[in-house]
Chains A and B, each alone.
Chain A
């Protein structure tokens, strides 16, 4: 009986591994195909053989020759980095006020914040676009960065994080005569670091890949971000599937690196984003 159980357990484990490997292969196959195609000569992009017969790494150089890809890269990283810095700063300050400070009406205001997470972005897009036109920020870095510098989700997530820090810490600091700003900066922020990193990764990835807002804000070539540039590339040179795939590979490499480096924060961060407060 016991031996049978062990046998059954082993068979189940084996079946689980096989299933997971099949699923992992399905997840990765499109990426393999993309990388292999990015090294093919143009004549082979329609061939059913996924492997190139000759390898053409210069496809990657061609991307930079056909479009200002370096400029797209810079714009996306520059905008995403600024948005990330500002979101983490404004969200952590607001989260501190919502979690560690006592003031009348606090939880009502917080509930209002939470409720706005249900508002579809489309409802605010048209007025925000019109506001940017009036402020003459259309087609500018400021217009791409400032509206994305505030996040109800980030505030919510960091509040959850800060609530889990023991209240005795700021109380004793207050007794020692620390100012609220010092408590925030020297005690709470260092303890909330895993939450800050998680939010930073999410925000960076979201803005790096953002399409809708840049699509309506960007008019000049110099301000094109990667997603806009990729679409332009597809419409101009889409027939060169090999070069297009080289551009796609370069587009997603930073995301993969960021994910692999920061992934131990992911599970925790996603969990916190879902716990209702």
Chain B
């Protein structure tokens, strides 16, 4: 067999293994992405009120002057605030577990359970837990407050409240001091922390921690470093690639998140305070059937994720050379 014929044969074999997956990739990923790029420039509407035509940048111009788009973008970013706490929590748990502690598997299993079971059933559970009148969370808070001497103090109304820790105004961009407090957004973030701290990121840190060379830490100990200095100057830099991966994936997932919580727990409310861009796209496309406009919002979200990932990459690579 000549070498050319052999090359061709190898290519054919490889292609036949690749084909099923590649077809699916073309039909359900690459094709749709190209299609969305086109659809965003049309007035495509499933109710078919107007005939389909190109509208140029009309959807994007609408979007820029669409107050709700900006408010929901702020909501989406607000939910990202849980991320640093989730990462710090995961790292802390992983550090505790990495000290050759007894019962590692038991702790790991129990702490991982919330993230295995996330989904509609668990969100419905949290909806009941947060019930301001008979939910156990407010029962605990109110019992504690009355023990402190505040007799008839009430807990927050959680998923029913537009209040938030940044005093963001309702249904407009800006601030409003009467909105300061704990509300639906905090409730969803806290639930997210419950599900994330012991989850996949903790396992990633745990695996990375076992790969930190013992000699480095021992050398630092001999030099008289305290435990904190040892962690800060030896362990943390060694964890940089893992942290980088977690942050990149956190942004990618977080920016397109919030759909399930909004659909299952709040309907995006109260007053749109838990509507994220993902839920907005869903509503535009599948309850209002404005496919063209929804495609434009989806593209903007895509661009946002792309930009944030590039920034992460630039910033993160500096850290990695450290």
On A, residues with C-beta under 8 Å from B are 12-13, 16-17, 19-20, 23-24, 26-28, 30-31, 33-34, 37, 45-48, 50, 89-91, 93-94, 96-98, 101-104, 106, 109, 113, 116, 118-131, 147, 149-150, 152, 155, 180, 184, 205, 209, 211-212, 215-216, 226-227, 230-231, 234, 241, 244-245, 247-248, 251-252, 255-256, 259-260, 263, 266-267, 270-271, 274, 276
Contacts and interface: CB of A to CB of B under 8 A. Distances in A.
A274 B18 CA distance: 23
Interface string B288-322: 00010011001101100110010000000000000
Nearest to A116: B29
A94 B33 CA distance: 21
A93 B18 contact: yes
Interface of B: 7, 10-11, 13-15, 17-18, 20-22, 24-25, 27-33, 35-36, 39, 93, 96-97, 99, 101, 103, 107-114, 116-122, 124-129, 133-134, 136, 139, 194, 197-198, 200, 203-204, 206-207, 242, 245, 252, 255-256, 259-260, 263-264, 278, 281-282, 285-286, 291, 294-295, 298-299, 301-302, 305-306, 309
Which 7 A-B pairs rank lowest in CB-CB distance, beginning with the nearest? A150-B24, A127-B32, A94-B21, A209-B119, A46-B134, A251-B121, A124-B32
A195 to B, nearest CB: 16
Contacts of A230: 120-121, 124
A27 B252 CA distance: 26
A13 B104 CA distance: 13
10 contacts: A23-B197, A30-B122, A33-B136, A48-B134, A94-B21, A103-B15, A125-B285, A149-B24, A234-B124, A274-B245
Contacts of A155: 21
Contacts of A127: 31-32, 35-36, 39
A201 to B, nearest CB: 10
A103 B101 contact: no
B306 A118 contact: yes
B96 A252 contact: no
A116 B25 contact: yes
Given A31-B113, A227-B120, A241-B128, A128 B32 contact: yes
Contacts of B11: 103-104
Nearest to A208: B119
Contacts of A12: 99
Contacts of B22: 94
A50 B143 CA distance: 14
Contacts of A274: 204, 242, 245
Nearest to B92: A19
Interface of B, secondary structure class, is helix
A150 B25 contact: yes
B96 A19 contact: yes
B128 to A, nearest CB: 6
A123 B32 contact: yes
A236 to B, nearest CB: 13
B29 A119 contact: yes
B21 A24 contact: no
A215 B295 contact: no
B291 A126 contact: yes
Contacts of A215: 263, 286
B203 A266 contact: yes
A209 B264 CA distance: 13
A102 B11 CA distance: 8
Contacts of A118: 252, 305-306, 309
A30 B121 contact: no
Contacts of B197: 23
B1 to A, nearest CB: 14
Contact of A28 (B110, B207, B264): B110
Contact of A248 (B108, B111, B125, B204): B125
Nearest to A150: B24
A44 to B, nearest CB: 10
B7 A104 contact: yes
A180 B16 CA distance: 11
A30 B194 contact: yes
Contact of A211 (B24, B139, B260): B260
A103 to B, nearest CB: 4
A38 to B, nearest CB: 10
Contact of A20 (B107, B256, B298): B107
B29 A102 contact: no
B17 A96 contact: yes
Nearest to A12: B99
Given A106-B14, A248-B121, A270-B200, A116 B30 contact: yes
Contacts of B252: 118, 120
B291 A102 contact: no
Contacts of A126: 32, 36, 39, 285, 291, 294-295, 298
A24 B13 contact: no
B7 A121 contact: no
B28 A128 contact: yes
Contacts of A26: 194
Given A215-B263, A271-B203, 5 more contacts: A16-B99, A16-B101, A31-B113, A122-B281, A184-B17
A275 B11 CA distance: 27
Contacts of A212: 259-260, 282
- Central interface residue in A102, A109, A184, A241, by most chain B CB within 10 Å: A241
Given A48-B139, A150-B25, A256-B117, A124 B33 contact: yes
